[in-house]
């Protein structure tokens, strides 16, 4: 099932286990995607973070939000699922829709 906004935009992004990494990723997404709406669905044990069409998570931003060194595996270990497609690079993770 693909989620969509009221205007029909399809949503992408990570599903993370609740905790400090999820909080830091959410703050990073808000900073790294300033022109995109960020939709947050909080549940008992996880949070779904969604943006229309594309969502960027820069590792440097996450480390700054955590206030400590950070490894990409911190996200991988806490991400149970994601919406859209995923592309990883040396400096970021990109969630997107294939056109």
Domains of the chain as residue ranges with CATH: 11-96 (3.90.56.10)
Supply the pTM of this predicted model: 0.89
Encode pLDDT of 27-78 as tens digits: 999 999 999 999 999 999 999 999 999 999 999 999 999 999 888 888 889 9
- Name the residue among 55, 56, 52, 48 with its Cα closest to residue 7: 52
C-alpha of 73 from chain center? 14
């Amino acid at each position: 099932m693909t989620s969509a906004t009221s205007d029909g935009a399809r949503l992408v992004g990570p599903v993370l286990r609740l905790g400090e990494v999820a909080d830091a990723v959410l703050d990073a997404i808000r900073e790294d995607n300033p022109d995109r709406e960020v939709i947050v669905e909080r549940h008992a044990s996880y949070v779904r973070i969604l943006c229309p069409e594309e969502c960027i998570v820069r590792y440097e931003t996450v480390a700054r939000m955590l206030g400590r060194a950070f490894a990409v595996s911190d996200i991988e270990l806490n991400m149970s699922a994601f919406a859209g497609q995923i592309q990883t690079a040396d400096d970021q993770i990109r969630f997107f829709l294939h056109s």
